[in-house]
Chain A
């Protein structure tokens, strides 16, 4: 992308409409001091960046360079603007236009950046970076190169040769590290405060303990409690352990007393089974059981006899039913012609009825006897059942009596185990020993409770207890802060290490890229030939995190202090051109030099012009101003005649009151004529 046209109105020292075509090859601008040569360089810079960075930091009478961007002379124009046109590789022309209102073409600064640079690879403020090296101003040649502090020089070159995202990563890590540092420092402050609080509390506790030690009762109570819990330090814990212990002692005493009761009952039962009464009772139970068995046998015999009798009566029962039916029929029929309807015998009426009555009475008597025997049979059955139940009960009582001894023995084993749990090593069931142990535990519990109550009743002990509780909380808080502090510190260190790693990688990348550019810098230096004794220039990078780029000649000599002003300018131009050629993320292929040969002798000026010619051959457009018309002619001669790319020499002048005016424009066309002839 190259410049094709520069235009402005009311800009800097140019009041009237100004238009200048820039040929694709080169443009040499000449004119006396104040004729507007520098203004053309300003025009390019202002159109592309919206600012003039030379004198950017200068202020005088509250005025700055911004106040002098637009025409300040008399009769100002109604409209003011700067415009430049750029042709891309396809020949398409793009206008960049600014007015006091801002950028008008293209639509935004982003669009402008997209036009000029490869935005993916470009650093921050890319256009300004390009112009740092693409507009080489006489007054800034050494300031931006050899006189630049080493760290700034490193940043300058880093910006030119393409930045990565690493500075952004470094910025993020730096900010994160700062946050962690603040956090760590905050924690350290908190921890210091907590330690101070712990010291204060410990001091108060010591005071109150001294007070406690001065009371004999409290001191004794504490001494005795401490004897029970030697590992415990705090009074509050001592009191709590004492409470827990006397509750436990009471529980033990109750269990021992209860066990003594059980052992006593057991011993009574053991004595009983050894006695004559126990044996008599056994014999009585056997006799009672045997008597019941005998009665059961007798009753069963009786019931069997009654059953047999009933069976016998049952056989006659069928005849009795028939007889009863005949009696009922004879009664109903009565005598028939003096004869018995049942047997046909002659019988009188009276006798017939007497026989009927007699037969019926006999029948009734038999029925009554059967009923009586049946009732007795039933009663005997019930009696037998009752006796059998009594027998089973007697059997159970006898069994229980016989098993009592084994049960008592089993109970003894259980009780011995229970006693051993409470009194380890006990082998006998000793009621008195158990009661004595229970009483001993109760007495111990009472003594312990007295000591606990004595400590609790003491205000000092209570205060110590509160302070110790507070101390425990503060210590816990302190530990928490300590952990947080350690974590923040560790995280901070990790953040710093990550930051250093990013900076180191960035430095390595820059160093490697610079290594690629080193030969170019050396070639440009040799082309400029600033010093005959020092034909080579090299660079040196030092620093791991903050990096410095120094230039050196010979064996570690600094050209800044070795070279003359003109030689330093020559080296500065080599440096800036190297940086310009390195900005491969830039699409701009125009190098602008504002009077670069001031303070340079003719010999080195010639080398510079030859360098510009080499740049032309490399495809770069050259815009160069020169006060001396002869030098302008020399430059034009050296640059002319490359392919189809023409050039021009334009002369500027200053008209009082009206500002800069464009004078003659002399086109320089390529000359295709040859000197060498071939046969």
Chain B
């Protein structure tokens, strides 16, 4: 399933370990130093809403042994439910309710996940900051030189941080 592969790729790119879940072709598990969880893809929103809880319980049961060895991660479990199917208004409300249910795991339930952008938006809580980049600083002097409202002499005075009286004198000389 393309959605699942994309999700797995995005998480691996973010530094998570991933692993296929035994007997589940629509699900994989992921883990980093901090969290542990799984991603499950659904064909339809209705299926997601109806089966998410069973899916989560099943995952919890299967992982309980391992999680007891890493108790901190047991409190940091993520259950991600995704579907490319577009939700109805009522289904959107149901999805929000799933996410606001804090029992057992932190849930991410998103429908209409079609594009890469949709996928990244859904996985945002698990992904690192993506849009922090150094500012590209422009050459201020060139910008000012290109502006005909500032004569080269006045610009020279500004660059040498001349007193306003000198700038005033230059403006008068130029008039």
A residues at B contact (CB < 8 Å): 121, 161-162, 164-166, 168-169, 172-173, 175-176, 178-180, 183, 486-488, 490-492, 494-495, 497-498, 500-502, 504-505, 508-509, 512-513, 516-517, 519-520, 522-523, 526-527, 532, 535, 581-582, 584, 602-603, 606-607, 610, 613-615, 617-618, 637-643, 670-678
Q: Determine the chain A residues whose CB is within 8 A of the CB of B31 once the complex forms.
A: 674-676
Are A618 and B165 in touch, CB under 8 angstroms? no
- Give 19 A-B pairs besides A173-B167, A641-B34 with Cβ atoms closer than 8 angstroms: A121-B137, A176-B168, A179-B164, A180-B171, A487-B175, A491-B175, A492-B171, A495-B168, A512-B138, A523-B124, A606-B106, A607-B125, A610-B126, A614-B128, A639-B34, A642-B34, A671-B70, A674-B70, A675-B66
Chain B window 118-158, contacts with chain A (Cβ cutoff 8 Å), 1 for yes, 0 for no: 00010011111111111111101001100101110010011
Kindly specify which of B4-12, B43-51, B94-102 makes contact with the partner chain: B94-102
Top-7 shortest CB links A-B: A175-B164, A501-B149, A491-B171, A176-B167, A490-B175, A641-B33, A519-B131
Q: A498-B149, A508-B143, A509-B138 are in contact. Are A180 and B172 (CB under 8 A)?
A: yes
A188 to chain B, nearest CB (A): 16
Give the contacting residue for A500; candidates B132, B149, B161, B172; CB below 8 A: B149
Are B144 and A501 in touch, CB under 8 angstroms? yes
A553 to chain B, nearest CB (A): 16
Q: A501-B144, A584-B135 are in contact. Are A640 and B72 (CB under 8 A)?
A: yes
29 residue pairs of the A-B complex, CB under 8 angstroms, read A161-B135, A172-B161, A173-B164, A176-B164, A178-B164, A179-B168, A490-B175, A491-B174, A495-B167, A502-B144, A502-B150, A516-B133, A520-B132, A526-B124, A606-B102, A610-B126, A614-B127, A617-B129, A640-B34, A641-B33, A671-B72, A673-B73, A674-B31, A675-B36, A675-B69, A675-B70, A676-B17, A676-B31, A677-B66
Give the contacting residue for A498; candidates B72, B127, B150, B161; CB below 8 A: B150
Q: A602-B102, A614-B128, A675-B66 are in contact. Are A172 and B164 (CB under 8 A)?
A: yes
Give the complex CA separation of A522 and B128 in angstroms.
14
Are A671 and B147 in touch, CB under 8 angstroms? no
Q: Determine the chain A residues whose CB is within 8 A of the CB of B56 once the complex forms.
A: none
Chain A residue with minimal CB distance to B147?
A501
Are A638 and B76 in touch, CB under 8 angstroms? yes
Q: Determine the chain B residues whose CB is within 8 A of the CB of A640 once the complex forms.
A: 34, 72
Q: Which among B99, B121, B135 has the greatest number of chain A C-beta atoms within 10 A?
A: B135
Give the complex CA separation of A615 and B132 in angstroms.
10
- Asked whether B63 is an interface residue with its Cβ less than 8 Å from the other chain, the reply is yes
Give the complex CA separation of A532 and B109 in angstroms.
13
Q: Determine the chain A residues whose CB is within 8 A of the CB of B106 once the complex forms.
A: 606
Give the complex CA separation of A676 and B96 in angstroms.
29
- Asked whether B19 is an interface residue with its Cβ less than 8 Å from the other chain, the reply is yes
Are B149 and A497 in touch, CB under 8 angstroms? yes
Q: Determine the chain A residues whose CB is within 8 A of the CB of B67 once the complex forms.
A: 675
Give the complex CA separation of A670 and B31 in angstroms.
14
Q: Determine the chain A residues whose CB is within 8 A of the CB of B136 once the complex forms.
A: 516
Q: Determine the chain A residues whose CB is within 8 A of the CB of B100 once the complex forms.
A: 602-603
Are B171 and A637 in touch, CB under 8 angstroms? no
Are A523 and B135 in touch, CB under 8 angstroms? no
A23 to chain B, nearest CB (A): 15
Q: Determine the chain A residues whose CB is within 8 A of the CB of B102 once the complex forms.
A: 602, 606
Give the complex CA separation of A512 and B138 in angstroms.
9
Give the complex CA separation of A197 and B102 in angstroms.
89
A628 to chain B, nearest CB (A): 14
Q: Determine the chain A residues whose CB is within 8 A of the CB of B36 once the complex forms.
A: 675-676
Give the contacting residue for A584; candidates B19, B134, B138, B144; CB below 8 A: B134
Q: A176-B168, A180-B172, A487-B172 are in contact. Are A637 and B76 (CB under 8 A)?
A: yes
- Asked whether B27 is an interface residue with its Cβ less than 8 Å from the other chain, the reply is no
Are B135 and A162 in touch, CB under 8 angstroms? yes
Give the contacting residue for B140; candidates A164, A638, A677; CB below 8 A: A164
Q: A161-B135, A523-B129 are in contact. Are A505 and B147 (CB under 8 A)?
A: yes
Are B129 and A614 in touch, CB under 8 angstroms? yes
